[in-house]
Structure 1
Amino acid sequence: LAAGARGLLVAPSWSAPDHPARYEEWVTGLPVPTVLVERLGVPGGPLDEMDRVRSDHAHGVLLAVRHLFGLGHATPLLVARADSPTAQAVRAGYARALDVMGLRAPLPVLDSSSAERHPVLFEETARGLADAVRTGRATAALMHNDEDATWMVRRLAELDVRVPGDLALVTYDDEVAALADTPLTAVAPPKRAVGRRAAELLVERLTTPGAEAEPRVHLDLLPTLRVRASCGPPTSP
């Protein structure tokens, strides 16, 4: 703002569910046209009065669950981080997907983490997932995010659990999923399109006469599912 910015695209690095409510006054108080990018506020709260462009992560999770269910798997297990807005959206989307499809989770969500930053938690998660596979409680999983999933596939192999032979795996983000030793089926949020549409909306607010007085816009863009080698039907007992 001090440098003369006339408008802002804002994507706060909120890492806990209560952050939108705690910090919404700062965002809504900005003195220039602002578009919220890939973030949600509290339903009915002040952030809902802002322009917003985001990926529909709940739809992305539903695509993954339906794909695995369509291959013949029972309800897939969710392995997910909890330290980012996308992670929280994936967790919420998982609960919604199961509700839509009338399914019940085989186990509580397994907390994911970076193998390098949090090796103890990563190892606990890997062993918990391997145990779920060996005991027949899970034949499929959705994991957020790609980097963690790539490390997880390697660790599961060391624990004698094969992807996709023993476990069908879909990852969420599709940034490095195609580069894994076993290319990973992935949900791909439309990140580039979100950025482009947010920028277009802001430019319209700044350059079109009377645009600032027009109704606010909430735009949700749908992720896609990119099928690769990490998924197959469940193996026969």
Structure 2
Amino acid sequence: MARSVTERRQAILEIVQQEGPQVVLELAQRLNISAVTIRRDLEELAGQGLVHRTHGAVAPVSEHAAAVSDGPKTIGLVVPHSNYYFDGVIAGAKAAAAAAGARLVLGVSDYDKATEMHQVARLTNKGVDGLVVAPTPDFVTGELDAEQQEWLVSLSVPVVLVERQVSSTGAAAILDSVSSAHSAGAALAIRHLSQLGHRKLACVMIAGPNAPQVRSGYLSAVESLGLESLGVIDEGGAGSEDAAELLLQAVREGATGIFVHNDQLAVRCMMWLEDAGVSVPDQVSLAGYDDVIAGVAHVPLTAVAPWKSAVGHRAVQRLLTRIAERASAAGSGRPPAETMATEHLEFIPRLHVRQSTTKPYVGGPMAELGVAPSMSGRSA
């Protein structure tokens, strides 16, 4: 028999009062009600002064009062850099912190593990209430090593990993994480090229922490869609032209669609193709990844766009909930791990289709279209 509105709201109130802060969506699942219904109930209960609503969570009024008396929370954010990709993550984190009245303090690791540990130690010593961290993984495997994982788990404050996936068997799997599903993002681009009619593709890759996921997504999508890959080409030295000749060779062999990780390298690929007499998109379609500068390329690039800001925003929200949950558990004597389940959240990127992709070229072989036999001697 369905509960009445009064009974349902009383059940919500009892859970929050007896068990402390609750994640709204998890509470809705527990009570078998919709997200819309529980938000309406919580608005009514909050309006009566019976509970306190936070971002994505609800807490007893008494605990909210205690948190306010402790002053605003301070969140540490440690990322590899503050530009290109992570500026979006930082912007989302800043917005979530500001909305919660929290202070955000930034540390930059420059993809150096020792610097990363130093930044975390500095922030922890300064008294941050919790940390959002993008640890430096192995660029070949994309994985965090065992020592890193043990270190992250041992930190004295709540930690949420951002833009880093951890193996389910790794020690850090017990930590919350918010990231982009880069494999799924790469597959979006390949599916788009396939739908346009491209059957022979090539991929050009940078070396980076997300490269293994992007490469895997490309290869899996090519296989599942019955396409042919004429090669996965590595950039070589950053900013070099090591990949130019291999890219042109793939075009000579019949590749009509090129997928490139990331935007900056995609713009360089466009330059190499056009300098060799290949028109984008008339003769070769080009799709990028990251969508940071894709829209301002000479030919605006079709690009996969991760939800960078949303990742940073959600990571801070999750951390604030963890901080409140730990405070509640400490006050009641409950172990924090037994009061809130670990969350591994992935955002599926979206695809922005622009002018660099179209149906495959139906003319003669590319070898007859002025594709240069060599790029040697070409200046940057």
TM-score by length of 2: 0.57
1:10 corresponding residue in structure 2: 133
Q: Which of the numbers 69, 85, 93 marks the counterpart of 2:194?
A: 69
The 3 A distance-change label for structure 1 pair 103 and 154 is closer
1:41 aligns with 2:166: yes
1:182 equivalent to 2:307? Answer no
Residue among 176, 200, 214 paired with 1:51 = 176
Partner of 2:243: 125
User: What does 1:197-216 correspond to in 2, within 5 Å?
Assistant: 197-208=314-325, 209-210=328-329, 213-216=339-342
CA contact (8 A) 1:50 1:216 kept: yes
Task: Summarize the Cα distance change of 1:125–1:18 in structure 2 as closer, same or farther, 3 Å threshold.
Answer: closer
Offset of 1:221 from its aligned partner? 0.7
- Label 1:182 to 1:111 Cα distance change in 2 as closer, same or farther (>3 A): same
Cα shift readout 1:3-38 (whole Å, capped 9, x = no counterpart): 001110010132422751242222222121100100
CA contact (8 A) 1:40 1:47 kept: no
Task: Note the 1:91-170 alignment, pairs <5 A.
Answer: 91-107=215-231, 109-112=232-235, 117-119=238-240, 122=241, 124-136=242-254, 138-170=255-287
Q: Deviations over 1:68-123 (max 9, x none)?
A: 000000142111112x222221112222223433444222x100257xx442xx2x
Q: Secondary structure at the match of 1:231?
A: coil
Q: Distance in 2 between matches of 1:101 and 1:48?
A: 32
Query: Aligned residue for 2:150?
Result: 25
Quote how far apart the aligned CAs of 1:134 are: 2.3
1:230 to 345, 356, 359: 356
Say whether residues 1:85 and 2:203 are aligned partners.
no
The unaligned stretches of length 5 or more in structure 1 are none
Distance 1:170 1:12 in 2: 28
For residues 40-90 of structure 1, the C-alpha deviation after alignment (integer angstroms, 9 at most, x for no partner) is 1233211221101001111111110100000000142111112x2222211
SS at match of 2:287: strand
Q: SS of 2:274's equivalent?
A: helix
Q: TM-score, normalised by structure 1?
A: 0.90
Q: How big is the shift at 1:187? A: 0.1
Q: Partners of 2:150 and 2:213 in 1: how far apart? A: 22
Shift of 1:157: 0.9
> Paired residues, what number?
229
Structure 2: distance between partners of 1:99 and 1:168? 19
Q: CA deviation at 1:133?
A: 1.1
User: Residues 130 and 158 of structure 2 are in contact (CA less than 8 Å); yes or no, is this contact kept in structure 1?
Assistant: yes
Specify the structure having the higher radius of gyration (Cα): 2
- Distance verdict in 2 for CA 1:100–1:44, change over 3 Å: farther
- Measured on the aligned residues, the alpha-carbon RMSD in Å equals 1.8
What SS is found at the alignment partner of 1:141? strand
Q: Between 193-202 and 145-154, report the one with greater CA deviation.
A: 145-154
Query: 1:57 and 1:19 mapped to 2: Cα distance?
Result: 14
What is the alpha-carbon distance in structure 2 between the residues aligned to residue 63 and residue 148 of structure 1? 19
Change (3 A) 1:45 1:57: same
Structure 2: 5+ residue stretches without partners: 1-123, 330-335, 364-380
Alignment CA distance shift 1:93-1:135 (3 Å): closer
Report the residue type matching 1:92 in the other structure: S
Aligned counterparts of 1:78 and 1:145: Cα–Cα separation in 2 = 11
